[in-house]
């Protein structure tokens, strides 16, 4: 699970490293901007009876293993959508990928699974426009075979990010 989280964090940092258009910004300025955006608190409806807050935008469950996290990325919606279509890790097996409208908001929605340390983890990703230069990425990851209440809690959190 830790390896999967690390891989997903690198994926998100990859988005931020390539997110900004070619300008005179230095690499340090780009990284500072990305860190500033990732620190923005995102409102989510979290079932606190099954998830514990790890950081302002990340919630975890130990048994079963589950993670909910969201972040603001310095990425246009169109560029991010293109990356989510073409640049996912090879270990992530996509079961569903489509753009759809939820609560009047266009979102890229991806579902899939990956394996880490012999455990299959099912993931849900929502990617939506925040403004002209930034987007919000929501990720919910859950150990395969977990009780339906965890699936429902992840779905509720994801939809709440889109509503807010």
Domain with residue 144: its CATH number is 3.40.1000.10
CA distance 49 to 29: 39
Look at the block and give the residue holding tokens 């807010």.
164
Q: Specify the 3-state DSSP secondary structure of 58.
A: strand
* Residue 14: per-residue pLDDT: 53
Q: For 31-37, what is the mean pLDDT?
A: 82
Q: Which residue has the higher pLDDT, 60 or 115?
A: 60
The gap from C-alpha 3 to its chain's centroid, in whole angstroms, comes to 16
- Please provide the DSSP assignment of 88-154 as one string: --TT-EEEEEEEEEETTEEEEEEEEEEEETTEEEEEEEEEEE-SSS-EEEEEEEEETT--HHHHHHH
* Residue 32: per-residue pLDDT: 83
Q: What is the pLDDT of residues 63-103, one digit of tens each?
A: 888 999 999 998 899 988 888 888 788 888 999 999 999 98
Comparing 25-29, 44-48, 118-122, 144-148, the range with the smallest average pLDDT is 25-29
Q: For 20-47, what is the mean pLDDT?
A: 78
Q: What is the band of 60 on the pLDDT scale with cuts at 50, 70, 90? A: very high
For residue 17, pLDDT beyond 70: no
* Residue 1: per-residue pLDDT: 52
Q: Which residue has the higher pLDDT, 95 or 22?
A: 95
Residue 64, preceding peptide bond in cis (omega within 30° of 0): yes
* Residue 87: per-residue pLDDT: 78
pTM over 0.75: yes
- Boundaries of domain holding 54: 2-163
Q: For 107-131, what is the mean pLDDT?
A: 91
Q: Tell me what the pLDDT averaged over the chain comes to.
A: 83
Cβ proximity of 137 and 88 under 8 Å: no
Task: Provide the domain count of the chain.
Answer: 1
Radius of gyration of the chain (CA): 15
């Amino acid at each position: 699970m830790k390896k999967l989280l690390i891989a997903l964090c690198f994926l998100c940092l990859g988005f931020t490293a390539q997110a900004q258009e070619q300008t005179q910004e230095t690499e340090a300025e780009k990284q500072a901007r990305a860190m500033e955006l990732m620190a923005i608190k995102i409102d989510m409806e979290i079932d606190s009876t099954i998830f514990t807050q790890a950081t302002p935008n990340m919630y975890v469950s130990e048994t079963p293993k589950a993670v909910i996290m969201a972040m603001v990325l310095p990425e246009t919606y169109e560029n991010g959508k293109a990356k989510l279509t073409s640049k996912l890790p090879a270990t992530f097996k996509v079961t569903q990928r489509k753009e759809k409208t939820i609560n009047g908001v266009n979102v890229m929605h991806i579902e899939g699974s990956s394996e880490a340390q012999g455990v299959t983890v099912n993931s849900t990703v929502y990617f939506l426009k925040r403004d002209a230069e930034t987007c919000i990425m929501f990720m919910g990851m859950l150990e395969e075979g977990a009780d339906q209440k965890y699936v429902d809690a992840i779905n509720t959190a994801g939809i709440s990010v889109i509503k807010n």
